[in-house]
Amino acid sequence: MISEQIDNLLDSVQKPARYMGGELNCTLKDWDSVAVHYAFAFPDVYEVGMSHLGSRILYDIVNRREDALCERVFMPWTDMTDLMRERKVPLFSLETRKPVRSFDMLGFTLQYEMSYTNILEMLDLAGIPLHTRERTWDDPVVIAGGPCAFNPEPLHCFIDAFSIGDGEVNILQTIDVVRRAKEEGVSREECLLRLSQLPGVYVPSLYETAYNEDGTIASFRPLKPEVPAVVRKNMIADLESAAYPLAPVVPYMEIVHDRINIEVLRGCTRGCRFCQAGMIYRPVRERSRQRVMELIRAQLQNTGYEEVTLSSLSTGDYSCLKELTREMMDEFSSQKVGISLPSLRLDSDLEDVLEETQKVRKTGLTYAMEAGTQRLRDVINKGITEEDLLSSVSGAFAKGWSSVKLYFMFGLPTETKEDLDGMAAVSRKVAECYFNTPKPLRAKGLRIHCSASCFVPKPFTPFQWEPQDTLEMFDEKQRYLRGIMKIKGVEFNWHTPEVSFLEACFARGDRRLARVLEAAWRGGCRFDGWTDCFRFETWMEAFRSCGIDPGFYANRRREKGEILPWAFIDAGVTEDFLWREKERADAALTTADCRKGCRGCGLKRFEGACVDR
């Protein structure tokens, strides 16, 4: 019945392929033959969610298990949600079109704070009570993980349990707990208590927070003695043997990253002080060149794709990159398989690698300078120089590249007008490198895409204590940048400060923001990360109606010793290390990569985390 209802909707929506299912390599299991039914939810549209590697890995892990199935669910676009509400069609999975509420478990991945209203929308579309206290065994156990789970508090009353760290470690353990709890007929509350005993699992209903008169946190404690006071992240020590899909699902429609995606390494030890991922995904763990080639061969055979991305936070740091790209081109160039290398660093030795990758097709080059002056790059510990950039782009232009992307941030701690001027100066010098390249060597059509995003302070970074610029300060800096970035060959783009302002609120928010989130959603907010859907005034009305000042979260400096909302999570790096790095930032002192010597970040407490070099 529900399948026919869905079919009747597809002629009336923009992209029906988002909701069809049945793609190549999707897993279809008999519903009645398994004990546990797991719905994996991505709180954005299909083409964004299907590009997320972590979701593909977890989908594969669960479906390898004989007694469980995993099906996918994505946030329907606004045209589809409106029709679903009008015709009373509940949120459904792609594989079997089962109502999401009929699953035993519902897992969300939290990749971006501005997707939080979509989580509430998906729960409501599914007919699942928003608040965990209102759910029964007629509802799935709702679990969430991903980078935003490192500060779970703004979602504390909507999510039953959070998985902190590498999801591969305990996704099967959580399934075991839920299966046994249902078989034994224990209460839902007992099931959540059992989940809280698993490493890396946080059950917010088992904790309470008290506040000081000034709004800061006075205390945070578990409500039962068996509930851990500190939740330590899960970490895969051996990436080589970690599960990885050999036959990923191939969409019917084009998705954001429409290619094979192979994670060659996880983690980064460069120590950029603004970068949350570089802190929470430590340490660096690599897959061998042989294992990567095995994965590439299998996925090429099982998907038909003609491009491979070698992904990581810093692919240029992969120790086998030169040998791997050469082997890939030797084996696959006759099949016209291209190689995409994101996240390359300027101080990596890339010349040989770039020569290999251009043999099939040239892709654009991306350089994340982040700051316009060396002083500010030292503050954020970027570890690259203007000379690194100009040397790299000059070599690339001489080899036929003509498209370059430059990424900057503005609003960084200690930023001055000279740092803004530096963005324009660097962009102008990159353009000059192109025009100084001899005409017989350079390709036609210089395209320098320069973007400047607003700095957002994140948990578990040395800048977690720093205030974000106010909206007025962001607006003033943007106007100035738009004036000075009018450079031949350079296209300048910028981010919406209001979105970054809300991102900062929820990145550093506490439990009180859950009321604001619900009020904004009830006011019609959804798809807040999409410019055409973003409703800033509705958000501000939600803050006002709840009596909460957003500036308290975004624009306030935290002091040493203040209890931070995420302080109960052990992310590996210690607060002492982060504070030392903040002090070094204040003095514009850099810290070398820890692979050149331990910097005392705290990860050595984790078994198998660090290998002395």
- Length of the chain equals 613
Question: What is the helix, strand, coil percentage profile of the chain, to 5?
Answer: 40, 15, 45
Please tell me the distance from the alpha carbon of residue 123 to that of residue 528, in angstroms, as a whole number: 17
Determine if residue 491 is left, alpha or beta; phi over 0 gives left, psi from -120 to 50 gives alpha, anything else beta.
Answer: beta
Burial label for 173, CB within 10 Å (0-12, 13-18, 19+), is middle
Parallel/antiparallel/unpaired status of strands 36-42 and 68-74: parallel
Q: Which amino acid is at 351?
A: E
- pLDDT value of position 613: 41
Q: Which residues face 367 on adjacent strands?
A: 406
Please tell me the distance from the alpha carbon of residue 416 to that of residue 83, in angstroms, as a whole number: 50
Structure pTM? 0.95
Please tell me the distance from the alpha carbon of residue 296 to that of residue 301, in angstroms, as a whole number: 8
Question: Which positions ≥6 away from 408 have C-beta within 8 Å?
Answer: 369, 370, 371, 372, 423, 450, 451, 452, 453
Contact 80, 124 (CB under 8 A): no
Domain count, the chain: 2
* 497-516 tens-digit pLDDT: 999 999 999 999 999 999 99
Question: Which positions ≥6 away from 147 have C-beta within 8 Å?
Answer: 110, 111, 276, 277, 280
Whether residue 225 has a cis bond before it, omega within 30° of 0: no
The stretches in the chain having pLDDT less than 50 are: 612-613
Query: What's the Cα-to-Cα distance from 55 to each of 39, 168, 225, 249, 296, rounded to whole Å?
Result: 11, 10, 34, 11, 18
- Alpha helix positions (H), 462-511: 471-484, 497-507
- pLDDT value of position 367: 87
The domain in which residue 173 lies consists of 2-227
Tell whether 246 is covered by a domain: no
Query: What's the Cα-to-Cα distance from 246 to each of 24, 240, 255, 301, 531, rounded to whole Å?
Result: 13, 14, 19, 9, 36
Q: Kindly state the tokens that stand for 440.
A: 């017989």
Contact 152, 202 (CB under 8 A): yes
Query: What's the Cα-to-Cα distance from 566 to each of 38, 62, 253, 510, 511, rounded to whole Å?
Result: 28, 29, 39, 8, 11
Sign of the C-alpha dihedral, residues 473, 474, 475, 479? positive
Contact 540, 501 (CB under 8 A): no
Tell whether 222 is covered by a domain: yes
Pair (72, 221) in one structural domain: yes
Tell whether 138 is covered by a domain: yes
- Helices (H) and strands (E) in the chain — how many of each? 20, 19
Q: Kindly state the tokens that stand for 599.
A: 């910097």
**Phi, psi angle pair for 27, to nearest 5°:** -100, 120
Q: Which amino acid is at 188?
A: R
Tell whether 384 is covered by a domain: yes
- pLDDT value of position 361: 58
Please tell me the distance from the alpha carbon of residue 176 to that of residue 583, in angstroms, as a whole number: 45
DSSP character at residue 108: E
CATH code assigned at 442: 3.30.750.200
Please tell me the distance from the alpha carbon of residue 133 to that of residue 426, in angstroms, as a whole number: 54
Of the residues 198, 227, 256, the one at which a domain ends: 227
Contact 540, 589 (CB under 8 A): no
DSSP character at residue 215: S
Of the residues 495, 512, 529, the one at which a domain ends: 495
Question: Which positions ≥6 away from 271 have C-beta within 8 Å?
Answer: 278, 381, 383, 581, 591, 593, 594, 599
- pLDDT value of position 596: 82
DSSP character at residue 260: E
Burial label for 432, CB within 10 Å (0-12, 13-18, 19+), is middle
Name the 3-class secondary structure at 254: coil
Parallel/antiparallel/unpaired status of strands 260-263 and 307-311: parallel
Tell whether 352 is covered by a domain: no
Sign of the C-alpha dihedral, residues 470, 472, 475, 479? negative
Tell whether 588 is covered by a domain: no
Of the residues 476, 495, 514, the one at which a domain ends: 495
- pLDDT value of position 440: 87
Nearest-5° Cα angle at 29, 25 to 31: 150
Tell whether 433 is covered by a domain: yes
Q: Could you tell me the end-to-end alpha-carbon distance of the chain, in angstroms, rounded to an integer?
A: 61
Tell whether 266 is covered by a domain: no
Please tell me the distance from the alpha carbon of residue 268 to that of residue 266, in angstroms, as a whole number: 7
